[in-house]
Structure 1
């Protein structure tokens, strides 16, 4: 594996991990805030917080990987 491929792989992995952490954290916080609201909605009661967190993590993974590919594409176009 040459140096450019290693850098691209590192960029994709780091952005994806960041997306997973941020997506999971924000979904968990949203679920917690929903349960602590003064008026709890039926949607809030029917959603499983773990499933909501996993959904946020997967969305973050895709967003992070997409951002890394977009950044790599932009850098490649500038060269």
Structure 2
């Protein structure tokens, strides 16, 4: 029973982390695309690498998803 519960909690952390990576990467890619389409393009927009910005967004999403899942797991364990 404990192993099954731990596997479910691990799957929660993994799925939230993957979701965070997808959402963070997509949001960063969209932001960099919108930056270039803006009527007033800044030098920061021109010098940033869209791939690097996407990777940064993905890593931020990974961290946010993992922290959110761990917080949910912590709360669930303290309610039991």
- TM-score after normalising by structure 2: 0.96
What is the match of residue 15 of structure 1? 16
What is the match of residue 73 of structure 1? 74
Counterpart CA distance in 1 for 2:15 and 2:69 is 9
Structure 1 alignment gaps of length 5 or more: none
CA RMSD between the two structures:
1.0
Counterpart CA distance in 2 for 1:40 and 1:13 is 38
Counterpart CA distance in 1 for 2:50 and 2:36 is 10
Aligned residue pairs, count: 79
Structure 2 alignment gaps of length 5 or more: none
1:69 CA drift (Å): 0.2
- Structure 1 segments of 4+ aligned residues over 3 angstroms from their partners: none
- TM-score after normalising by structure 1: 0.97
